[in-house]
A and B are shown apart, each in its own frame.
Chain A
């Protein structure tokens, strides 16, 4: 009973924060001719309701793909269609073909914001609540604190309710997937995850851990018996759900290919704008995009991504456990973000989601990561005039994490999950005991740099020769942080399973 009312209060608080953020500006507000993501979503509603399904992904007289052409998988299109029906009921002007381009009004903003809130309320928030309620071995209070922190994560709130996107849908489906496979509802879990991929192709960042975890489960059950049956069932579920989602586009080969071309625009370059990954940071020193030929860029990014993924994925396949699964989700998504081809700054949310899930295990590092992830989107948030809500939500999130997990007291080797790593290093260097101290210092340095950079970006004008100075600096700093986190997460994944085996031997 008590748990219920606290959980309700937390959800209501999360919703209030979401709605108050949504009162702020959105991307491309009053900025013709291209506007921003807000207009993109509105335009998709216009396209999906006015054109037959066959023309959605094709360039045509009524569908100029240069102007926010649909480049997300079919589920996004269906969602747009659904919203468009509601919009048509309220005010047909909002989605009239051609004439509604760049439509902006208070009422329309309210409508668009409401669609995000409803999608969030239906998909993401219940998943978070359920996830926190299902956590084992912790008190009710901690579960509620956990839910509060996850729901207050500023990155997702600012992008969905400020900038304007529907990340909570894809992330929510992914979270349902995580919930499903972690609690042995493998079929439902994989169905939810297929929906996530079919809503946003970026969910592929999470696909390898899902694949490896499920494969590992099958191996564990024995490939000759139950495991094989499970494997077949899973394969059927995945294929069936994909077919269902793509059914209208399977009628012609050209349709399917065109959708795929739209989803994976390989000709768009190694990265876009300023994104805190390796390639963007590296090109500050060396313009890779201009020097190397296109296919080599793709090859390099593929190789790097693949190599950085490999160890943790193999580990997960050999020793599948829900905990290892969550950590592998983090490290894989982070590898993809850092090394893969055509990454957006918003893709960091795909890493943040699994990090939110491990808040309880490593509160200190997770809070730190989530702060950095929000900081890495600073240039984008500033462009959308979201400085005020960003600062407020970040501080609120930090306070929530700090008070509910008392993160600063949890920086011992044990609590950073670095015990086994340190022990194995100490075999060679007996004096290796300073790791937690270094990490605490690094945290301080990182936070101070972020605060200073934010202040500088906001108050100072960049020199005329380097108009992008501050955004490049933000990317650079965030990228360094992310690299550190990649190493950290790889270490704890690799050493965690060893630790588990050691414990078994002792037992």
Chain B
């Protein structure tokens, strides 16, 4: 009620936006939830009822604990609230238990922990320079940014329908970015170290943090031409940074080191036994690669270049098999993806080192790291696109070029999340929310940059509009055709290949803009 008073009393738009989306999240409580719901219930049970030494060994459920220790502690803390809702959900043997109280508790735990995300968005809005402040509130970059982040379609459906805790994790990331923007480097580094021990997927963006902090924080000065001044190196800063990271890691992994369980923890965290692609292909480079392989194999069969008996029967998109062999093109090993990812990340890292452009440059590098690892990573989930979409929102309100990349990336990335929600009652929700977010983001950014050249060229417009017919075909036409039984994977295949094109394009365009941008020092002198 206090928050209500704040929102209503001063006409405070930010609280109204945050409260509004919170209420929408509450309305989403009865929607479908995926197996991730059971995953987190199981983790609650494990951390609540077992000693620490058992956490990473327990395997009653197939959904074993595979997040770093801080997340386990987080579940442990939640479980102490959960016991007042329903004691039964904390029983490890109660597989697939979901009473209405369990549902309420789990949903509310996501909604409640999102307060951290709201706070982070609030801090991020402070970092945006208000030069372009329009006459009206709704045209201010701050307002647009907070809508883009708070009402982000991906977060809404992944966290509050599909069920995950990305909200507060993204909040931690945004908060640490905001701290770097505010020149509070130590705090930023600390938050990121904590974040890493909550969810190790953020390792993908760690290079950006490492290089940025080393280059722009440990080296206290630059030469006039922007290149590095070696003698300005501050050992004190490096040591304090190192100490922070070390202490956080010790706090997280220390107990398991003492129990001599580190190898077990790591084997849970990095399960390389899973396949190259998730059951549904994330729209990345490997989706294009596998699609090409499929096309080639079909052509090969038609033209009798291939022997049908040698072709593996398992269809990759059927979701039944995790392991998959390419038929024509060489199969991809985890090591190959790792190398590809590193190669893809390297230029952006070099750029960050040799052309430091302050926090904005860091942010671009971070997004490139996230996107590159999404493009080439091993067993990437489609949800990982949020890792790039959220920080990209920060860039989008700054420059017209970034806005256009953001819109392509976000729209295709969000559309690629559609297969997550495949149940009929959620169909209108995902379409309505997607339209709401897309129409808002396109129109508001267009208004913001109306004085500059149009955000999209005809090709991009055509591509983005193509998502509409694609959706109509996949959800409304295809189920009524005779192919439904014979080729059930076609909608998924089409979706991921179509979206892969857009995301690859956005990645490429962002890379080009980063590499061709003149260094900040020079532009300032001119």
B330 on the interface (CB 8 Å rule)?
no
Q: B421 to chain A: closest CB distance in Å?
A: 13
Residues of A within 8 A of B125 (CB): none
Query: Whose C-beta in chain B lies nearest to the C-beta of A5?
Result: B443
Q: How large is the interface on B (under 10, 10 to 19, 20 to 34, 35 or more residues)?
A: 20 to 34
Taking a contact as CB atoms under 8 Å apart, the answer to whether A9 and B436 are in contact is yes
Residues of A within 8 A of B424 (CB): 107, 110
Give the complex CA separation of A17 and B429 in angstroms. Answer: 9
Taking a contact as CB atoms under 8 Å apart, the answer to whether B13 and A15 are in contact is no
Give the complex CA separation of A402 and B436 in angstroms. Answer: 23
Q: A125 to chain B: closest CB distance in Å?
A: 13
B23 on the interface (CB 8 Å rule)?
yes
Residues of A within 8 A of B26 (CB): 388, 392
Residues of B within 8 A of A106 (CB): 425
Stretch at the interface among A20-28, A95-103, A353-361: A20-28
Residues of A within 8 A of B28 (CB): 20
Q: Which residue of A6, A20, A406 contacts B429 across the interface (Cβ within 8 Å)? A: A20
A321 on the interface (CB 8 Å rule)?
no
B459 on the interface (CB 8 Å rule)?
no
Query: Whose C-beta in chain B lies nearest to the C-beta of A23?
Result: B30
B16 on the interface (CB 8 Å rule)?
yes
Residues of A within 8 A of B20 (CB): 396, 399-400
Taking a contact as CB atoms under 8 Å apart, the answer to whether B9 and A12 are in contact is no
Residues of B within 8 A of A2 (CB): 443, 447
Taking a contact as CB atoms under 8 Å apart, the answer to whether B439 and A5 are in contact is yes
Taking a contact as CB atoms under 8 Å apart, the answer to whether B439 and A12 are in contact is yes
Give the complex CA separation of A389 and B8 in angstroms. Answer: 21
Residues of A within 8 A of B447 (CB): 2
Q: Which residue of B8, B11, B29, B435 contacts A12 across the interface (Cβ within 8 Å)? A: B435
Q: A16-B432, A141-B138, A399-B8 are in contact. Are A392 and B23 (CB under 8 A)?
A: yes
Query: Whose C-beta in chain B lies nearest to the C-beta of A409?
Result: B11
Taking a contact as CB atoms under 8 Å apart, the answer to whether A19 and B432 are in contact is yes
B4 on the interface (CB 8 Å rule)?
yes
Question: A residues 390-448 with Cβ under 8 Å of B?
Answer: 392-393, 395-396, 398-400, 402-403, 406, 408
Residues of A within 8 A of B138 (CB): 6, 141
Taking a contact as CB atoms under 8 Å apart, the answer to whether B11 and A399 are in contact is no
Give the complex CA separation of A399 and B9 in angstroms. Answer: 10
B428 on the interface (CB 8 Å rule)?
yes
A13 on the interface (CB 8 Å rule)?
yes
Give the complex CA separation of A139 and B306 in angstroms. Answer: 69
Q: A409 to chain B: closest CB distance in Å?
A: 9
Residue-wise, chain A 1-44 has the 8 Å CB interface mask toward B (1 for contact) of 01001101100110111011101100000000000000000000
Taking a contact as CB atoms under 8 Å apart, the answer to whether B23 and A396 are in contact is yes
Residue-wise, chain B 24-60 has the 8 Å CB interface mask toward A (1 for contact) of 1011111100000000000000000000000000000
4 cross-chain pairs, A with B, having the tightest CB-CB distances, nearest first: A402-B8, A5-B443, A20-B27, A12-B436
A-B contact pairs, 9 of them (CB 8 A): A15-B432, A20-B30, A107-B424, A117-B428, A392-B27, A396-B20, A399-B23, A403-B13, A408-B8
Using A16-B432, A106-B425 as known contacts, list a sample of 16 further A-B pairs with CB atoms less than 8 Å apart, ordered by residue number in A.
A2-B447, A12-B435, A13-B436, A20-B27, A20-B28, A110-B425, A117-B428, A141-B136, A141-B138, A393-B27, A396-B20, A399-B19, A399-B20, A399-B23, A403-B13, A408-B9
